[in-house]
Amino acid sequence: MPNKNTTRRDSLIIQRILRNDYPSRETLLKYLREHGADIGIRTFQRDIENISSNFDIDITYDRQKQGWTINTETTAEVDKLLYFVRLVAASNVVLHSLKDKHELLKYLSFIPNTVLKGIEHINVLLSAIRARQTVQFAHLNYDTGMTKTYTAEPYLLKEFEGRWYLFAYVRQLAGFRTFGLDRISDLTVSGKKFKREKALEQTADKFDEVYGLVYMPEQQHPPIEKVTLRFSDIMIKHVQALPLHYSQTTKKGIVTLRLIINRELENKLLSYGEHMEVLTPGSLRKRIKQRLTETLQHY
């Protein structure tokens, strides 16, 4: 019977093969080990057979190129199936029969996206952070479409709106950078130790004091400010159920945050529309009003 461990291995094997570079058995076994799944050849062969039978994925070995491949033309809804496998592997769901997947998918309405992509890197990165070891990886820039290789000192993993990000110090750039795990590939731990310098530790700690991902260490001592917000009766319940920040408190219908104000916070507050009013600080209230005025000019 498939369990969470085998399903996670299936997910890793599928997504590695989908890079379309015909990985060999040795390459796939190494990839599994790097992601905390050390198995033998016989178990690997069973996993390959299970993927083919359980998910109806056309997975074959190309003798000419000496590697594995997935025929995406003969495999129905491969993106949706991979998303489903990741969902199962990332949750506590254990399917007694993966052959039920077609029936199960009828009751799930979703569009495959990158929310679960990259979560296989979490275990490797956490180990590197704890061991204070540098990591190397390729990272795709969505704006330019270019992939660049980085050597970085990992400090923190942060979840934001369902996606995971690495906050790491890049010596070549003399600064911290944020990397989306869904855009990371070819991740390896170099084994080279780095020292967590006190000044850099303090910078990394400040990352928790922002909403979202934009924290510029180049700012000289950005202040942590008290932000008070008034929400409509309808929206206040949603904000209490899904807090904006760990510092959030609510009293008499007024939400209070203590954090570094950034553009992402402004964007989030604007998304509430007529259901939210910024009370303090005055500078943020003025900025929100200015952006709403600029928005109205388009209508």
Of 170, 165, 130, nearest in space to 150 by CA: 170
The number of CA neighbours under 13 Å toward the Cβ of 248 is 17
Structural domains for the chain: 4-106 (1.10.10), 119-209 (2.30.30.520), 225-296 (no CATH)
Instruction: Please report the pLDDT score of residue 103 as a whole number.
Output: 57
pLDDT of amino acid 204: 78
Tokens 């599928």 appear where?
14
DSSP the chain: ---HHHHHHHHHHHHHHTTSS---HHHHHHHHHHTT----HHHHHHHHHHHHHHH---EEEETTTTEEEE-TTTSTTHHHHHHHHHHHHHSS---S-GGGHHHHHHT------SSSTTGGGHHHHHHHHHHTEEEEEEEE-TTT--EEEEEEEEEEEEEETTEEEEEEEEGGGTEEEEEEGGGEEEEEEEEEE----HHHHHHHHHGGGBSSS---TTSSSPPPEEEEEEE-HHHHHHHHHS-SSTT-EEETTEEEEEEB--HHHHHHHHTTGGGEEEEE-HHHHHHHHHHHHHHHTT-
Strand ordering across the sheet containing 147-160? 175-180, 163-170, 147-160, 133-140, 184-193
* Chain centre to alpha carbon of residue 186: 16
Percent of the chain with pLDDT over 90: 40
Average pLDDT over residues 21-45: 90
Which pair of tokens denotes residue 108? 């799930």
CB 121 within 8 A of CB 112: no
Count of Cβ atoms closer than 10 Å to residue 100 Cβ:
11
From 14, 13, 18, select the one nearest 29 (Cα to Cα). Answer: 13
The per-residue pLDDT for range 244-277, each reduced to its tens digit, is: 998 999 998 899 999 999 888 999 999 999 999 9
Report the DSSP beta bridge partners of residue 131: none
For the residues 163-182, what does the mean pLDDT come to? 89
Q: Is the pTM of this model over 0.75?
A: no
Radius of gyration for the chain, computed over Cα atoms and rounded to the nearest angstrom: 23
Categorise residue 162: left if φ over 0, alpha if ψ from -120 to 50, beta otherwise: left
For 67-120, what is each residue's pLDDT tens digit? 999 887 765 566 666 666 666 655 544 444 444 555 555 555 555 555 567 777
